Structures are given as structure tokens and as C-alpha cells.
Amino acid sequence: MKTLSILIFVGLLFAGILHITAQNCGCSPDLCCSQFGYCGSDETYCGTGCQEGPCFGSSPTNDVSIASIVTDAFFNGIVDQSDGGCVGRGFYTRAAFLEAVENHPQFGRVGSEEDSRREIAAFFAHVTHETGHFCFIEEINGASQDYCDETVTQYPCNPSKLYYGRGPIQLTWNFNYGPAGQSIGFDGLGNPEIVATNAVISFRTALWFWTTNVQSVLSQGFGATIRAINGRLECDGANPDTVSARVRYFTEYCNQLGVTPGDNLRC
């Protein structure tokens, strides 16, 4: 009987493992969706990289109005610095951004109002650099690059699709398109092009990447956000000019939003 009980227990445990490994986002409201797309309730699921649900530290802690900070003047002040013929003009709009923010309530609402303003300044500093003041929707020459990491078998590349940079934060690689799509609700691996054709989804991919990979390091200074976004190619002296550009935008936007940029600006 003991042997039979053990076998039953092992069988149930194995079935449970199969269930867990087969999961994706779409968890019940009381569970978190981990950065890898599985449902659970402990630190592994609700901690770093948590995409949805009662994520640890992701609940809004203030009642800051994002719309009152990202005003028409602020947003259009960025767009107006791009060339009039840019493809991004008319695609990237404040209305699309604000609609996207409604689905990411943790963005810009953690900590004090100063923290919120500083986070918003940091987000738009990176977006400005990545898109050339909202000029570019897609990465320049991106179609000639190979952004398929075949070792990430959880998010297998579609051989007829390309995962180059698209959108405000220039979402790149299959291991970002896959989970972004799961979290937001589109086929990231089968239809990556939608990030360049649907402005709300485009902004949502940027906010997803931000809240999943960047927001947790904000307290370490702006330099840490550079490292989280493009550290290998820019930090530790790899490309000081691009680091300087990001810092310049951040400082400028902090001034516009009435907040100090803080320390540790470079990576």
C-alpha cells in the first residue's frame, strides 16, 4: 500500500508539473503571471518580472494623474522636434499613450509624486532616444538583422517573421515579443508587425518592457535604466555618446516636469 501511495503521489506531482509547464498568462485574478508566463503566488511568480496580477511592489501607491503630467505641451514638444516627414508623426499620439497607460496602472504611480515625475521623465528620455523624437516606428535596417535567439525554446521564432526593433522602446528579440504578446493579448511571435501598425499596442509593449525590466531599478538612478535597456552595447564605456544623449534628454525632461534628476545618471 505504501508503494502504491508513493506512486500515486508521484503521478499527481508529475501531472502538476506538466500543468505548470504548460501554463501561459491568463491566470486567475488571485495569481500572478511570472516573467516566463506561469501562474503562481510566491516570489518566483509575483516578484521580479511579474507581468500581471497582484505583483509584489507593483500596486499603485499614489494617485498621480499621468495625464496631468504628460500634457499635450510635453508630449507634442517631443514630437515637434522630429522632421515633418517622419513616419512616426501621426502614429505616436498622446491619446494612444494614455489609452495604453490605462492597462499598466503600476507605471508612474510608485512612490511619491516626485518619483512618478522622475520615472515619466526617464521613460520619455529613452523613448526619445530610441525613436528620434517619435520619428521612427521601426528600427533602421532592422530587417537585415537576426534577432532570433534559438536557445529560448519557450518562444520559438517563426521562420517567416522578423523580431527587430519596433515601437517606442524598440522591442527586439523573440524572447521579448513572445511574453509581451502573452501579457498584452496579441500573437507576438506570429504577428510582430502589429507593434508597428497599432499605436496602442505599440505603446503597451514599451510599458510592458518598462514595468517588467526597468521599473525595479529606478531607485538606483537613471544610469541603471540605461543598463537595463541597452547596457551591453552602451555601458562601461561601450558607447559614451549614446549614454550622454539619454542623460541629456532625461535631465531636460526632469527640468520640464519640475523634479531633480537625482544621482548616478550614467552606467
Q: Which helix (H) or strand (E) holds 226?
A: helix 222-234
Would you call 265 helix, strand, or coil by DSSP? Answer: coil
Torsion over CA: 79, 147, 230, 50 (sign) = positive
130 is catalytic: yes
User: Tell me, what amino acid is at 241?
Assistant: D
Q: Which helix (H) or strand (E) holds 32?
A: strand 32-33
Quote the CA–CA distance of 151 and 49 in Å, as a whole number.
20
Catalytic residue, chosen from 52, 102, 119, 130, is 130
Would you call 92 helix, strand, or coil by DSSP? Answer: strand
Quote the CA–CA distance of 131 and 137 in Å, as a whole number.
7
Catalytic residue positions, numbered: 130
